[in-house]
Amino acid sequence: MTDRVRWAPASVDVGTPSSARVYDYLLGGGHNFAADRTMAERLAGVLPVRDMARLNRSYLRRVVVTLVEAGITQFLDLGSGIPTVGNVHEVAQDANPECRALYVDVEPVAVTHAELLLADNPRAAAVLADLRDPDAVFDAPQTRLLDFDRPVGVLAMSVLHFVPDSDDPWGVLARYRDRLAPGSYLALSHFTSDLMPRAAAAGADLFGQASDQVTPRSRAAVLALMAGFDLVEPGLVHTPEWRPEVPEDVPEDLGRASMYAVVGRKP
């Protein structure tokens, strides 16, 4: 209860696992509850979730560095999760101190912790909003941190598989795309069942017991999310295959990743 009072809003249901808190636990973070840890261990019994989380986090870092090198100094991180070491603003501002980052998440613990972490950083902020409602994101006062008349790097890492087909993630991303200046980028990663169909189905069933349903998608479905963007090399691949720093970073068994990765530029 002490931890709850210190960093968790009173409205948070500590007995129901949250994807953001499960991911925090898998990355070694401390902002999670017993239900989240139990869910993470159950997932680890059917999927290589620790490898998936690690490889996805490494991909995020490489993307941010690549986009800064391409001249991007503004980042919109959708479904950002709970801040842990190696956050977008840390990576970006290490490469260019002028970079700005806006985090968006629907998880109160994630946003509360982000606000505490960013209290002394005028170039980063967090918004409590659902990424499925772009108007709420763009209308939030914190969003004024970013200038959408200039290129922005939009990140949707390991989050769109929590948006069911019925909520039209393709249409949601199109609404963000239409608000972006030419030269902006979209980078995403997405859970897939293409490599490990039985394991992915078992993982999805487990997540059905949590606060977030999960929808693994095929290569074609993930590629369709990039409509209106020109893919940058190497195109749609698995997370460790996206511009690895050394060949050894790519595991022989890509099922250890089970996540697609892709970056596109708005012409």
The DSSP secondary structure of the chain, one letter per residue, reads: -HHHHHHS-TT--TTS--HHHHHHHHTT-S---HHHHHHHHHHHTTS-HHHHHHHHHHHHHHHHHHHHHTT--EEEEET--S--TT-HHHHHHHH-TT-EEEEEES-HHHHHHHHHHTTT-TTEEEEE--TT-HHHHHHSGGGGGS-TTS--EEEEES-GGGS-GGG-HHHHHHHHHHHSPTT-EEEEEEE-SSS-HHHHHHHHHHHTTSSS------HHHHHHTTTTSEEPTT-SEEGGGSS-SSGGGS-S-GGGT-EEEEEEE--
- Quick one: pLDDT at residue 1? 38
- Quick one: pLDDT at residue 7? 54
Question: What confidence tens digit (pLDDT) does each residue in 59-70 have?
Answer: 999 999 999 999
pTM of the model: 0.92
- What residues of the chain score a pLDDT lower than 70? 1-12, 210-211
- Quick one: pLDDT at residue 12? 67
- Quick one: pLDDT at residue 188? 98
- Quick one: pLDDT at residue 228? 98
What is the domain class of 2-265 according to CATH? Answer: alpha beta
Sorted by where each begins, the domain ranges of the chain are: 2-265
- Quick one: pLDDT at residue 84? 74
Question: What confidence tens digit (pLDDT) does each residue in 201-210 have?
Answer: 999 888 877 6
- Quick one: pLDDT at residue 15? 80
